[in-house]
Amino acid sequence: MLTRRLELPNKSFLLFGPRGTGKSTLVRSRLKGILEIDLLKSKNLLPLIQNPNLLADLTGHLKTGDWVFIDEIQKIPALLDEVHALYEEKKLNFALTGSSARKLRRGGANLLAGRALQTFLFPLTFDEFKQVRSIDDALEWGTLPSVVIDPKNRNETLATYVETYLRQELLEEGLIRKIAPFVRFLQIAGLYHAQILNIENIAREAQVGRTTVDKYFQILEDTLIGYRLPAFVEGSKAKEVSHPKFYLFDSGVSRSCAGLLDDPVDSVWKGFSFESFILNELRAYNQYAHRNRELYHYAITGSYDIDFVVETRKKTHSVRRETIAISVKNTKKWDSRSNKSLVEFQASSKTHVRHLFGIYRGNQILTQSGVSILPAEEFLSRLAAGSIF
């Protein structure tokens, strides 16, 4: 068993995350003596769809403080009203997991009116998998628990993941009507992983309309498969890029979507994969450590880009907005020319850029032009320890 960093709340909670990140396993390992209702099983799903009040009968023998675990709660949004009532009347604790928080909101559910805490589970982080797998493995195959634990079958696991996602999340839930155009789109999205989002280009290559592509990207976000990293725009320079970057939640899944599981990955792919890997580490730490900081990218058209800008302090009447800037390079040797964009950003930004970081694949800790240049392992160790932000 790999030890997960996420601490589950000691009261009712909603745990969200993409399929395959280990939500159910985590709940079962941390909560003992629970009543489990798995909505992936038709014997549980169909009766509760027809009669959500049945939940009261299923939990009738429980006493105050007992735990009820409902897996894939988004399949029956109306069930949250019954959960809410039982929480109020019997003081039961509920562990609810799901892979589509927005679907619940769209279904009119009140998400327990704030009475249940909400948290999020990511694929395995470096701190969780470093004893059994390398960063190189993570860049090529991702960090889904099933892939990390069973490397011999990782190709088949990732291929099956995408097929299951298409079938269970999209077709069965009625999110798409025609699978062929979505499959074409998904392959293009996998290839454009970790790049600035250009809807027109993707629509052209996928041979579907722009509005359809917009809808498809929203589906990826709604099902927690994709994430848009917004641009950091402050008007300090002309030609600031305002478009977000788009990332799939796992490099292995993006490789499967792109149809590249049977081909060796090239250096360009690994570069984008490394960038995505670092972003997922930042997002996971931000969630697990309850930092709740905003993350951005920054770019000047035709000039330079900063992979990540982390807002470490909000602007107030008396205090300037504060950030850190991070550049990521999948190289064994750090090129000092890579410092220029970081230094220029710090000099021109309206925010107080309190620290500049370069992350690379070498093994030396360096300082150049005020930039802290760290091996990836060192940066991630400092991140987990809370010394980055």
Architecture of domain 13-120: 3-Layer(aba) Sandwich (3.40)
SS3 of residue 379 by DSSP: helix
SS3 359: strand
Residue-level pLDDT at 375: 98
Task: Kindly state the DSSP code that residue 11 receives in the 8-state scheme.
Answer: S
Q: Helix (H, G, I), strand (E, B), or coil: what is residue 327?
A: strand
C-alpha neighbours within 13 Å on the C-beta side of residue 310: 22
* Residue at token pair 């209702």: 37
Task: Give me the CATH code for the 126-275 domain, please.
Answer: 1.10.10
Task: Supply angle C-alpha 119, 124, 13, rounded to 5.
Answer: 15
Q: Answer whether 287's CB lies under 8 Å from 15's CB.
A: no
3-state DSSP of 133-187: CCHHHHHHHCCCHHHHHCHHHHHHHHHHHHHHHHHHHHHCCCCCCCHHHHHHHHH
User: Which residue ranges make up each domain of the chain?
Assistant: 13-120, 126-275, 277-385
Provide the residue type at 356 as one letter.
Answer: L
Q: What is the pLDDT of residue 261?
A: 96
Residue 204: its pLDDT value, please? 95
Confirm if 36 and 156 have CB atoms less than 8 A apart: no
> Is residue 230 a contact partner of residue 278, using CB atoms and an 8 Å limit?
no
Beta strand 352-360 with 322-328 is: parallel
Q: Helix, strand, or coil here: 341?
A: helix
Amino acid identity of residue 25, one-letter, is T
Q: How far apart are CA 239 and CA 250, in angstroms?
A: 31
pLDDT at 107: 56
Residue 167, pLDDT score: 80
98, 21 contact by CB (below 8 A):
no
**Mean pLDDT, each 10-residue run in order, the chain (389 residues):** 91 94 96 93 94 96 96 91 92 93 63 76 97 96 97 96 85 81 94 94 95 94 94 87 96 96 94 97 97 96 95 94 97 95 95 97 97 98 97
Give the pair of three-digit tokens for residue 219. Answer: 């589906």
pLDDT of residue 1: 67
The highest-level CATH class for domain 277-385 is: alpha beta
What pLDDT does residue 308 have?
98
